Amino acid sequence: MMVLDEAIKHCYERAEEQKVKAQRYGYNGLTGATIECLECAEEHEQLAEWLEELKARREQDQIKWIPCDDRLPEPDKLVLVSICGSDLIFCQEGETYEDALERIWKTHRRVSTGYYVDDEDDKGWYNDGFPMVVHPVAWMPIPELEPYDPDKEADNDKTN
């Protein structure tokens, strides 16, 4: 059984083989066979591209939250952060401060960006140049994504 990288390589190899075949058939005047080989090559290249996209999505799915207690990111590197809590603590009627903290911890969760500073004079989390009042509980690298391309999206809509 092939692994994904082998399948991608196999598709590209088959595409090249079909292109070579098409050239040979073209020299002999077999236009129908030439067209079939070129279509087969295009299909194999498309399949390889889909497999590469699948591979990239799988790699993105492997990006997991890293608890800040386990490890901090490289200093000054912008990352995604998971924040639990709020800088505004209010007690509901009959609620203790500790109960309010627990309630807010459970209900006020969000994702943002931030970076960790580890200087002699300053250690802590920042967002847009300002210290974060509520520190992140976990972080992850920002996934590398391609910018939106309307032409590509239109092509994807046609193939789906």
Q: Quick check: 72 pLDDT over 70?
A: yes
**Global confidence as pTM:** 0.51
At residue 154, the pLDDT reads: 66
How confident is the model at residue 62, as a pLDDT?
A: 67
For the chain, which residues make up each domain, given as ranges? Answer: 4-62, 66-140
pLDDT for 22: 83
pLDDT of the residue at 120: 87
Mean pLDDT for the chain overall? 84
Whole-number pLDDT of residue 10: 87
Residue-level pLDDT at 24: 81
Give me the percent of the chain exceeding a pLDDT of 90. Answer: 26
In eight-state DSSP terms, residue 103 is H
